[in-house]
Amino acid sequence: EEDETPVVWFYTPMALPLLKVFAPAVVVYDCMDELAAFEKAPRQLLQRESALLTRADIVFTGGPSLYAARKGRHPNI
């Protein structure tokens, strides 16, 4: 029997509401930019990122500064 439990991979915290659609076995947050620093970043971005960091099983970062900014916020980064 094949396991069809999905892995959900986020590139942006703004997609966090999609977790309601899936019942993922694993949640990955792939943080490649400081999205909140973008000029037209949605005001909900920081709140959703905090929620995603709480829910994610693993977090990848796109460089040392992103790693340093998040290493205290997730145990598996």
- pTM here is 0.89
Q: Is the pLDDT of residue 1 over 70?
A: no
Q: Cα–Cα distance between 17 and 5 in angstroms, integer?
A: 18
Count of domains forming the chain: 1
Sheet containing 7-10: give its strands across: 7-10, 26-31, 58-61
pLDDT band at 2 (very low <50, low <70, confident <90, very high): confident
Quote the tokens at residue 36: 């909140």
Residue 27 located in a structural domain: yes
Q: Which two tokens stand for residue 26?
A: 């694993």
37-69 per-position pLDDT tens digit: 999 999 999 999 999 999 999 999 999 999 999
**DSSP-assigned letters across all residues of 28-48:** EEEE-S-GGGSTT--TTHHHH
Q: Which domain holds residue 12?
A: 7-70
Whether residue 76 is contained in a domain is answered as: no
pLDDT digits (tens, 9 = 90+) for 8-33: 999 999 999 999 998 899 999 999 99
